[in-house]
Structures are given as C-alpha cells and as structure tokens.
C-alpha cells in the first residue's frame, strides 16, 4: 500500500499545484494583492505543509536529526533544484526590489539560524549546548511574524514606483469566491497528502537500502517535501506567473527556517552535530550564490538557462557530497 500511495502522491502534487495556483491567482486578482505576496504567503504555506508535518512527526518520534535534515536539505533543494529546473525551462526575471528585499530577508533568516545555533558555543566552553534552544525557537518565530507584518504592510501601504508596482489593481467582476477558497484548500490538501505519501514511500525504500537517518533527511525526505514547491513553481511558470514561482520558493525557505524550525525548537531543544553545523554553512553558501547570481552575474536580476543548469550541477554535487559523507568518505 505504501508503494501505491507513493505513485498516487505524484498525481496529488500535480493536480494540487494546479488548483492552488489557480485559486491563489484568482485571490490576488480579487483582493488586489500582488502575485509575489500571494506566493510568499498562501502558496508558500501550502507547499511547506509536508516539511511541517514531517518535522512534527520526527520530533514526536524522538528523531530531531531527521527534522533538522529535512528543513536544511529542503531549503537547499528549493534554491538549487526548484529554481534550477524552472530557470532551465525559461529564464526567470526577478524584479530589483525583490532581490534587495525578499531575497535579503531570506538570507538574513539563514544567517540568523547559524548565529542562534552556535551562539552559546561561541560564548561558552566545550560543554556548551550547540543547537536551538526554546528561546531560540521563540526568536525565530518572532522574526517570522515580523516578516508577515512586513509583507502585508508593504501590500496595503505600497511604496513602489509605477515601474515596480507593489500591488495589482483588483478586478471587479462577479466570480465564485467559494470556488476560489475550495481550490486553495483542496490544492493545499492534495499537496500535503501527495508529499506525505511520497516521503513515506521514499523512507520505506531507503530503509530497504540501509541508508542513514541524516542522509534520508537531507536527500530523500528533503527532495520529497520539496516536490510541492517544484510542482507549484513549474505550474506558475507555465501560466506565466513568475512572481508566484519566485515568491513560493523564497516564502517556503522562510517558512521552513523561521516557522517550522522555530516551532520544532519550542517543542523540544534541537541539538546540532558538527555535520549539521556544516549543513547550515552550506545553506548559507547557497543563499549567497543566489544573491550573487542576481546581483553580479552576467544577467543581473535574472536567472538565465545557463545559470539554472549551473544550479542543477551544484545540487548534484551537493547530493554526491552528502552521500559520500554518509558512507564515511569525509
């Protein structure tokens, strides 16, 4: 049954992404909220449900390493795999204001995680706790609430120029509002169950191959829980709604670090091993690569097809590194 649900899960992702993007786009038009903001919030939350559920299940099951690996690995996959795939499909233009606001916000979040994980260690002795305490969890959640306030604040009180509008003019037409809500809820549920079934099947297969928990969290589980982001972003790009695709990836990364890890840490302090510390450093490096690509690359404020291919090569190298580390090469 696990393997049957594994296959069905892919259909859930495909159709769930379709419904969620349709509903979110309709909501943006009805309310006048920009596609970017919808992607940063509603779509990002819907596609981050698998990471949230997996992390809660892992904490309750006494497997915090799986929860940490899931979040860090998912963020790396979102940036290199998801953005790489959609950039290869079509060059992604990222508005200048998005580069210097939302992407910097995301970089600040992962830098904050690195500081919070090692803060006590840097200030204390050898036996100091290295990881996220409950207080650290509250700090992450507080920063997440600031992000939400900031996002909706700039929506209702825009400061953009006419060339970079913060909001879209609402379309005043008769439409089926309940149908829009059903699409958003139904799409989110389909993404959730699809992602969950795929992860369960992947874990079952991984157990048969005797792979380590850390490797499963960083790779199979991370890729599995990132499939909703991939499906939703591909659907958004095919519908010529690149803002939703970009907002989905950035928003999902912020949800993962600030909300999910923050919530997990408030449930139970999360110790970080040396390997997990290096994984955080890798995630910071990936965030910097994205920023540099959009600011000093050949195509500023754009991820070209060649740069998307570079992202995919980097992700393949990342998977090779994690695998060789798991078998003791590093």
Predicted confidence at residue 167, as pLDDT, reads: 44
pLDDT one-digit tens code per residue, 19-62? 777 777 777 667 766 666 776 677 777 777 777 877 887 787 77
Expressed as residue numbers, the domain containing 303 is 35-165+213-326
The encoded tokens of residue 240 equal 């010529």
Identify the top-confidence range among 73-82, 140-149, 210-219, 248-257.
Answer: 73-82
Cα torsion through 100, 103, 106, 107, rounded to 10? -70
Of residues 206 and 138, which shows the higher confidence score? Answer: 138
User: Mean pLDDT score of the chain, rounded to an integer?
Assistant: 79
Q: Is residue 220 part of a domain?
A: yes
Predicted confidence at residue 175, as pLDDT, reads: 52
The number of folded domains in the chain is 1
Q: Is 302 left (phi over 0), alpha (psi -120 to 50) or beta?
A: beta
pLDDT one-digit tens code per residue, 151-169? 766 554 444 443 444 444 4
Q: Is residue 125 part of a domain?
A: yes
Q: Is residue 244 part of a domain?
A: yes
Stated pTM of the model: 0.79
From the CB of residue 243, how many other CB atoms can be counted at a distance below 10 Å? 22
Measured CA to CA in angstroms, residue 135 lies from 69, 120, 183, 266, 269 at distances of 21, 12, 37, 7, 9
Report strand pairing: 131-132 vs 270-271. antiparallel
For the chain, state the CA radius of gyration. Answer: 19
Q: Is residue 77 part of a domain?
A: yes
- Percent of the chain whose pLDDT exceeds 70: 80
Q: Is residue 64 part of a domain?
A: yes
Asked whether residue 122 carries a pLDDT value surpassing 70, the answer given is no
Q: Is residue 189 part of a domain?
A: no
Q: Is residue 196 part of a domain?
A: no
Which CATH number covers residue 306? 1.20.1420.30
Cα torsion through 65, 254, 292, 37, rounded to 10? 160
Q: Is residue 100 part of a domain?
A: yes
Helix extents (H) in the chain: 2-31, 35-38, 44-60, 64-76, 83-89, 96-98, 104-123, 134-156, 177-208, 213-215, 222-238, 242-254, 261-267, 274-295, 305-326
């Amino acid at each position: 049954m696990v393997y049957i649900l594994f296959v069905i899960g892919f259909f859930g992702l495909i159709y769930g992404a379709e419904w969620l993007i349709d509903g979110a786009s309709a909501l943006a038009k009805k309310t006048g909220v920009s596609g970017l903001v919808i992607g940063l919030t509603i779509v990002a939350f819907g596609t981050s449900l698998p990471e949230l559920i997996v992390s809660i299940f892992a904490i309750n099951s006494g497997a915090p390493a799986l929860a940490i690996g899931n979040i860090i690995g998912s963020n790396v996959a979102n940036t290199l795999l998801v953005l790489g795939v959609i950039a290869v499909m079509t060059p992604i233009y990222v508005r200048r204001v998005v580069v210097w606001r939302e992407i910097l916000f995301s970089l600040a979040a992962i830098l904050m995680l690195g500081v919070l994980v090692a803060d006590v260690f840097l200030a204390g002795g050898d036996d100091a706790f290295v990881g996220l305490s409950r207080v650290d969890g509250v700090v992450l959640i507080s920063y997440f609430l600031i992000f939400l306030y900031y996002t909706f604040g700039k929506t209702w009180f825009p400061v953009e120029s006419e060339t970079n509008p913060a909001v879209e003019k609402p379309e005043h037409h008769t439409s089926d509002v309940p149908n829009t809500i059903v699409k958003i809820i139904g799409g989110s549920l389909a993404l959730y169950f699809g992602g969950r079934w795929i992860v369960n099947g992947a874990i079952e297969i991984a157990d048969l191959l005797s792979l380590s928990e850390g490797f499963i969290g960083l790779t199979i589980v991370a890729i599995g829980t990132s499939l909703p982001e991939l499906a939703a972003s591909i659907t958004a790009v095919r519908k010529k709604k690149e803002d939703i695709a970009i907002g989905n990836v950035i928003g999902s990364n912020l949800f993962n670090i600030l909300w999910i890890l923050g919530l997990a840490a408030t449930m139970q302090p999360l110790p970080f091993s040396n390997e997990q510390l290096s994984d955080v450093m890798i995630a910071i490096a990936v965030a910097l690569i994205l920023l540099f690509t959009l600011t000093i690359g050949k195509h500023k404020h754009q991820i070209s097809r060649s740069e998307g291919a570079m992202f995919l090569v980097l992700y393949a190298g990342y998977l090779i590194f994690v695998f060789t580390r798991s078998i003791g090469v590093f």
